[in-house]
Amino acid sequence: MLDLSRIKAITLDLDDTLWPIWPTIERAEQVLADWLGQHAPASAALFADTAARHAIRTQLVASRPGFKHNLSAQRRETIREVLRRCGDDPLLAEAAFDVFFAERNRVTLYDDALAGLVFLASRLPVVALSNGNADIHRIGIGAYFKASVSAQQFGVGKPDPRIFHAAAQAAGALPHEVLHVGDDAALDVLAALDCGMQTVWVNRTGHAWAHAAQPHLSVTTLAELCDLLGA
């Protein structure tokens, strides 16, 4: 059970907690493919080969360790390398990535997400904590967050305790005063527990919990958490 008296701030995961990520990525990749088809057809053909594209991305990450947690850099440089290999202008990578990234940030929030954010932000400092590259301001929800801490900005991602400690600091709280809310059992719940945080597992898909350590609370929507905090 949550100890409500301890909670002075909330850290909140983004992808698959506030919106479903894979429909967003699939749509963004299709927009990118269409753009490449118009501006660099040879590159579009190679980019459509999923295995080849993944191999190029894996090669890039291996050769540039700084890219490990930077999804934007991974995608931009993968596009650039595809353009180069196909004899197209590598400078097109910037515009191509911009097209992808604009669509990546056109998310469809879960029905409960916006009302949940409004409620939580009205009561406690909320800090976005994500391994992804979503831009809360471009999405239009930045006003509800005190700060945003992402793996690509910080240099390490969840489950590394350093990023949780950084998010707590950004919220103006100690780790044991933070409630972390997220959908991933390992990257969110178990990692936050290891940092001494209280945790809420957002289990929208009805999966069974498969670990010995338990979240302090499991919910299927943010509305359930808001009801508890507002009681």
- pLDDT tens digits along 189-212: 999 999 999 999 999 999 999 999
What stretches in the chain show pLDDT beneath 70? 231
Residues in a beta bridge with 219:
202
Q: pLDDT tens digits for 24-36? A: 999 999 999 999 9
pLDDT at 231: 62
Q: Which residues of 24-36 are buried (b: 16+ CB within 10 A; e: fewer)?
A: beeebbebbeebb
The share of the chain scoring above pLDDT 70, in percent, equals 100
Q: Which residues of 187-222 are buried (b: 16+ CB within 10 A; e: fewer)?
A: bbbbbbbebebbbbbbbeeeeeeeeeeebbbebebb
Within its chain, how far is the Cα of 135 from the centroid?
Answer: 9
Angstrom distance (rounded) from CA 57 to CA 75? 7
pLDDT at 168: 98
Ordered by where they begin, the domains of the chain are: 4-19+109-230 (3.40.50.1000), 22-104 (1.20.120.1600)
Length of the chain: 231
Q: Is the CB of residue 132 less than 8 Å from the CB of residue 21?
A: yes
pLDDT at 65: 87
pTM value?
0.94
